Each structure stands twice: as C-alpha cells, then as structure tokens.
Amino acid sequence: QVQFVQSGAEVKKPGASVKVSCKASGYNFDGYAIYWVRQAPGHKLEWMAWIHCGNGNTRYSAKSQGRLTITSDTSANTVYLELASLRSEDTGVYFCARDAAGRGDSWGQGTPVTVSS
C-alpha cells in the first residue's frame, strides 16, 4: 500500500535553513510526482513545490521561490524540501503528497517546523 513517512519535528532560529524529508513506499517511485503543502497555525493549506521523481522537473510557488529547493533521491525513494532564510511566518506543518494525475491521493503525516529565536 502507498505510504509516506516524513521526518520529525524541527526547531530552528530565524535565518537558518531546514530540510525535511518524505520517504515513499508501496508504489513505483519514479512514475509519480510529489508535492509539498504547508499549513501555518490557524491558516489554510498553502501549496509550495512539486517534483517529478522520474525526470526531476520542478515547480515552485511564486511566494517562496528563491528560498525553496525540492529534490528527490530515487535510490532512497525520498523527496526533500529545503527552506532557507527562515522567518517566523515559516512556522507550520509541512505535508508531502503524491500527485496522481493531478490529485493528491496519498499524504504524509506532516512535519512540524517551528521558527523561533
């Protein structure tokens, strides 16, 4: 069965970087894309970045582009999201999801990231 296991909670200071991971299992990793979604406390879901795990193509939201890097490691069936120059407003829960013909049909459990001095 399709499953995603995300890395654990992170606490970072403003200006630092954070890298969260999403390990996939139960399907052909190369055949799908994965995207990341963020939810700040009390806020709506915010789409952030996308990567096709087969060809490495990427897309980023305009809001975070420049600070975001999404990568995939096909040998480890894992996708990573790195966010640089962290600000307090980057605090939230980060979710990965499989992109199946446009829809997010399977989601990770979420990784809480706290940015605080």
Partner 1 sequence: DIVMSQSPLSLPVTPGEPASISCRSSRSLLHSDGYNYLDWYLQKPGQSPQLLIYFASNRASGVPDRFSGSGSGTDFTLKVSRVEAEDVGIYYCMQSLELVRTFGQGTKLEIK
CA distance 90 to 92: 6
Residue 52 C-beta: closest distance to partner 1, Å: 9
| 36 is a contact residue toward partner 1 (CB under 8 A) | no
Nearest Cα residue to 5 out of 89, 116, 104, 98: 98
Q: Which of 72, 78, 108, 113 binds partner 1 (CB under 8 A)?
A: 108
Residue 18, SS3 per DSSP: strand
Q: Which token pair is 112?
A: 């809480």
Q: Which of residues 47-106 bind partner 1 (CB under 8 A)?
A: 47, 50, 59-62, 95, 97, 99, 101-105
Residue 77 C-beta: closest distance to partner 1, Å: 19
Nearest Cα residue to 86 out of 16, 9, 38, 23: 16
15 or 50: CB nearest partner 1? 50
Residue 59 C-beta: closest distance to partner 1, Å: 4
> Do the strands 18-25 and 3-6 form a parallel or antiparallel pair, or are they unpaired?
antiparallel
| 27 is a contact residue toward partner 1 (CB under 8 A) | no
Q: Which helix H or strand E contains 3, and what residues bound it? A: strand 3-6
75 or 110: CB nearest partner 1? 110
**Which parts of this chain interact with partner 1 (CB under 8 A)?**
35, 37, 44-47, 50, 59-62, 95, 97, 99, 101-105, 107-110
